[in-house]
Structure 1
């Protein structure tokens, strides 16, 4: 049994055997006595004690011993050297400036994990020791390679698993008496011009510092990249302040002899004189360094302000991330994509989460929780200006992250099996074509609730989802995974064909084909209207990368029309001029066909350019004839068969009608009981109607009409089909009834009261300042330009 004592070296408490303490105490006293006459003796002795404490710490951690023994002290003295060992050569000049650790001559190098300097297993430290470099460079390279570790089988994953294999397969080696002969990278404050970065690089590499400074100056011309790199290195690299740091910077073993030699060199430096070119190039930087030195006080204040600001931001972010993660765990991962809360592009997180293995959520927490906690701790550290990380936290957090990421990789591989094979399933349906019918292509715009019902294959109410009624949130064109891709194409045939190309994936080809067959898609034919769903549904709510392409094949030469919504939605690209939003919309009432050689052609529209105005739509240069007919007086207009035409109604002294077109006129009108009855307006015709007073219009078909300049106490509007009416003027009361997919645009028709009726797919925009009453569907669209002080009374139909 031996007596032990407790000692404090460089702030660390160690237990040491009594005889070992006597040897160590005598050794330290000789060091104190020898270096007492040197300038800065306190700093020198502090460096030596710090080195001794580090060696004792390594002994205690690696050998798991409670007390330092005599053998440990003897090994320490042998590695550092005694005063008597080098007094006889203390007058010799230093010959070890470019010191490099000698290569062992005992045999070839053997790669071992370095347990002494390990951060995580000692693999990176072992590689650094093998190549005689600073471990920080190896760790930076590994982190850069691991940054691409998310997709499977990428380089980062190879590095990750290689690190794990090396950790498990390569034995570790303890090097408590390592001479640290490799160099560490520090900034050199003694030879600095601005921050000592170039001098530090020169000390680390052995290159000429003058040449490095010239290259640094020239790098400023490379788009300022040299300045950015310099500032980054200046911020992240420590300065060699102590004798120990300076010896590590040059790769010299920390021994008493080397310490003395470095002290002598600092007193009598032997520096090479800079040449004239270097002095000229560095002159402005030396001036800048002088300025920065003078502004050191204010710059320190700014640094503290920035540090506190960044600390607060990091603390807030860390706490917010932790709270969000806790919330996800409490409310359930399978609920984060419910309703309108969270969308991750086209991926349905709710469906993906249903198929994930049970360990995926704990693995996610283990993988990212240490990151969030570290962010919060970093914020606290900046605010308190001290480090709050310790070795136990580093080991625990790193272990959690490794376990978490391994679990996530395993979960991804487990879930990825469901997408091994792909298969498709096609369906073709024919729609009989009538020569006398102009079919209108439209889309059935699904709101969020309906889209989710189709995606999940079950009632949304049963899942507890809630949806906002705001129609602006019903984005039928949103890139959800069950969005149908619709395309129109011409072909040499007799019927309109609707071809559905369904594709899906699965564990096997048979399962993938079965998943493709479970895709549900509908379209509705009602007279001449063909309405196609915007999204497809699933009979089995499992995400298997289902896709659906709907191709509508239209016979060559067959004319058809389509709504603006359909044109926006389909995959075919049209010129932007067809969607002109100012004045009369050219797209409303447009007529189209497919040609075998020209493709999709518009028969009755010329797209707008930026220089064209709406009045040019009625110019004589675009028509082949102009016919004007005087009419009897009337105050109402009825035209339910307007086809794809353009109508403009304005106020004038004498009632008349003007036709413009480039084909034989087949339209006819007459006045009956003070009503102008438009029997028919053929496609492609432009019509201008002038009348002194107008109180009512009843219009239908696919035409686009503009009424301007009328003011009356009451104005009645009835619209049917796909008719679009733009109304400008004013009055006291507006009575409007819109059926089918009609549209009324009247923000510039100011009234006090509006009584409205809206069908399921109708749209209306008015400007009623006092009162709005009416009936509408949830799916219909109503906007009132006047917002303040308006009273509403609605009967809403679901």
Structure 2
């Protein structure tokens, strides 16, 4: 168990692991060393710190107990280190190799991104599949959340069953990256049964009690006896069955957020981090250009350097611990095994819930209708101490 500390980071009380705090501090110091010599360097670093503090607060709000090394490393890797934007910052004291100049009129050919080359090709997604990866591959092609495609196939299974089988046979499979910034996951940190309701709350940015209340409304109506005045027995049974079926389907098709990247996608921070990265990249580009212009302007005045002037100190090298880049990981699950475990869980909790509900209903019935049994109490209880003990226990 790593040691945790509480820090005041940009006006927010953050619970963070001590090693994660050192990583964060080294990253902030590297930013200060790079942007500190600019006119607005302090404002730039302060803006980045504010955005990181917002991300920390968002994670703690969604049930994470403290900020870990993985959280800090993930944010740093997504925003980018200073040496990612300026190679001169990473290698101090070494001359940067300049690529040979091309003949006049020629330009270097830059290959198009791989994603642009293959964006219109349909594959089965091998790293995010429950059965055959058809739904996740189709979702990647359409740039939507795979959960919604899977839900559509399940609800319209009578129409799309053979379509799914044919696509499973015809469409090739391939490992594909995620191309959506926000996805629906089951939240393992704030779950009551399967984490479906808390995952929906994180996806739509609402309080977790709202989806839980929606799923519990039919049961509450049944317990308090409101259904007899509003619905027929058969109609209400269909509503109950529909809510339970939807929850079970979502439990099966919605993956659980296990890795830090999946938790980022669940909370919708991926796009926000990408925006921060673009902003830092633009700032670094502006800083590098201004320094290059200043260096070119001072080439002819090297011999006339004033005696009191000293060159600015070199930026401190990054001394953080080596990190391992995140690899694409699909949901660690087997389709049949997940389905079997889910059905066993639902059966177990359903039986326990029915027993508990029956016990509570019997208790309420005894309390509120017990007066009708008063004329018959002499058949079961003797007057005096037995009656007193019964009412005390109730």
Considering Cα pairs closer than 8 Å and 6+ residues apart, tell me whether 1 or 2 has the greater RCO: 2
TM-score by length of 1: 0.19
- Please identify which structure carries the higher helix content: 2
TM-score by length of 2: 0.34
- Please identify which structure carries the higher strand content: 1
Which has the higher Rg, Structure 1 or Structure 2? 1
